[in-house]
Amino acid sequence: MTVMIDTGNYIAAKAAVMARPDVVAAYPITPQTTLVEGIANYVKTGEFKGEYICVESEHSAMSACIGASAAGVRTFTGTSSHGLLLMHEMLHWAALARLPVVMCNINRVVGPGWNIWTDENDSISQRDTGWIQFYCSSNQEIFDTVIQSFKLAENKKVLLPVMINYNAFILSHTSMPVYIPEQKEIDDFLQKYKPQWKLDVNNPITFGNIILPADYEKIRKDMQNSQENAKKLIPEIAKEWKKKFGRYHGDLIEEYKCDGADHILLAMGAIGSESKASINNLRKEGLKIGLARVRTFRPFPNEEILKLGKQADLIVIDRNISIGSEGALFSEVKASLYGKSDTKVHGFIAGLGGKDVTYNDIETICRKVVEGKAKDCEWYGLEGGEK
């Protein structure tokens, strides 16, 4: 075990290389660039022995990963914002083809106007592609989740691609100390990929040809079953990781000081970790408040949230918005409770366009709810107020 002090992107590059993928195909985009540069450096040093394909677009990055994965090898890529959106068609393709591609997405604002700061609308808008989605809150969690994601994606009960999301700059370009296990320990945890099927000249099969409705529907149901299977496997893999390396970031959610809480805050990504400071301060003030940091948006932690909803009123902060509706997490939290709990849920939109959301802001949001002054759904800190 060594300690590496580095940015989220370089940590993700380190993790990806230690997972020993055979093929990485990627295209640079701010703020993901240092991730692909990091992997390129490992090509130079010889630490990465796989094939690094410098493609001409993100669409081709995902297409090349699909080709490589279908030919039977472990594959990795990374992107952000517009790159993720350009991949959209191939995100569906990878999931429907049941290919365990692992990808980091650095959450960045979508243009216009051009803006490289963070919000989560890029990945939220990809939620129905069939990918498993993690949202990380520290560089250590990025490292650990990348390795764990390969194990999850390649499990024959899952066989779905995994997207590891983390916030632009707040994590991608901020250095933190990260414990890095020895390569041998990683190899013991993550065995060599053995595909269930592949393009094989000795067993020639045609993949992805025309399929009639009844068979297609079965594939969709199997993907749904696999996401359900992932709900069980994510905690199992996290526990195995904890046993081996002593670190644990939660399962589908990470609970923080939820015992005895009558209000529980739900948030994802960096706001999720920032909220811990807020919870500590509010607890000192005597508020009975806890935090549930949502780690996986797909599969969605319905059962966990229902359990919390039966215990406490919920406060949801979304760094995204489904225009014409509301924050995506807010919607899904309410759907998890529907008909089973009549707890109050308050939604806040905050930090769009990369606007800073500090622990002070989060405390203000929580106090407003506890004091009964919050609307069902509102924007926090909107300059000029809601009109």
Partner 1 sequence: MAIKNLPVEECMIPGSAACPGCPATMALRIVFKALGKNTVMVVPACCTAVIESLYPNTSFDVPVMNIAFEAAAAGASGVEAALRQQGKGDTTVVAWAGDGGTYDIGIQALSGALERQTNFIYICYNNQIYSNTGVQRSGATPYGAWTTTTVGGKTEFRKEMGEIIQAHHIPYAAQACVSYPEDLYNKLKKAKSIKGPKYLEIMAPCPPGWRFGMEKTVDMGIMAVETGAWALYECENDVVTFNGKSKLILEEKIQRKSIEEWIKQQGRFSHLFKPKKDVKRIKAIEDHTDQIWERYRRKYL
DSSP tag of 128? G
The reply on whether position 214 binds partner 1 by CB under 8 A is no
Binding segment for partner 1 among 70-78, 163-171, 260-268, 348-356 (CB under 8 A)? 70-78
The reply on whether position 3 binds partner 1 by CB under 8 A is no
Q: Restricting to residues 162-201, which ones interact with partner 1 according to CB under 8 A? A: 199-201
The reply on whether position 233 binds partner 1 by CB under 8 A is no
Q: Which of 11, 13, 29, 53 binds partner 1 (CB under 8 A)?
A: 53
Residues 46 and 59: their CA atoms lie apart, in Å, by 27
The reply on whether position 43 binds partner 1 by CB under 8 A is no
- The sign one gets for the Cα dihedral 301, 321, 113, 137 is negative
Cα-trace Rg, the chain: 21
Q: Which of 35, 65, 146, 314 binds partner 1 (CB under 8 A)?
A: 65
Question: Based on the number of CB atoms within 10 Å of its own CB, is 124 exposed (0-12), middle (13-18) or buried (19 or more)?
Answer: buried
Q: Which is nearer to partner 1, 129 or 167 (CB)?
A: 129
Q: Which is nearer to partner 1, 15 or 25 (CB)?
A: 25
The reply on whether position 73 binds partner 1 by CB under 8 A is yes
Sheet containing strand 132-135, strands side by side: 51-54, 23-26, 75-80, 102-107, 162-167, 132-135, 296-298
Reference 19, options 39, 37, 44; nearest CA is: 39
Q: How many other CB atoms are found less than 10 A from the CB of residue 371?
A: 9
The reply on whether position 209 binds partner 1 by CB under 8 A is yes
Closest contact distance (angstroms) between CB of 202 and partner 1 is 9
Place of tokens 């905050």: 350
Q: Which of 1, 3, 212, 323 binds partner 1 (CB under 8 A)?
A: 212
The reply on whether position 126 binds partner 1 by CB under 8 A is no
Q: Restricting to residues 90-109, which ones interact with partner 1 according to CB under 8 A? A: 90, 93
Q: Restricting to residues 278-317, which ones interact with partner 1 according to CB under 8 A? A: none
- β partners of residue 107: 167
Q: Which of 5, 47, 89, 183 binds partner 1 (CB under 8 A)?
A: 89
* Size of residue set near partner 1 by CB under 8 A: 42
Q: Which is nearer to partner 1, 208 or 353 (CB)?
A: 208
Single-letter residue type at 9: N
Place of tokens 């806890």: 290
Q: How many other CB atoms are found less than 10 A from the CB of residue 257?
A: 16
How is residue 236 written in tokens?
A: 């199992």
Strands 296-298, 132-135: parallel, antiparallel or unpaired by DSSP?
antiparallel
Reference 38, options 12, 1, 65, 75; nearest CA is: 12
The reply on whether position 150 binds partner 1 by CB under 8 A is no
The reply on whether position 66 binds partner 1 by CB under 8 A is yes
Alpha carbon of 265 to those of 166, 248, 293, 345: distances in Å?
Answer: 19, 20, 8, 10
Closest contact distance (angstroms) between CB of 32 and partner 1 is 18
The reply on whether position 60 binds partner 1 by CB under 8 A is yes
Q: Which is nearer to partner 1, 65 or 142 (CB)?
A: 65
Binding site for partner 1 (CB under 8 A): 22-23, 25, 50-51, 53-57, 59-61, 63-73, 75, 89-90, 93, 199-201, 203-212, 215
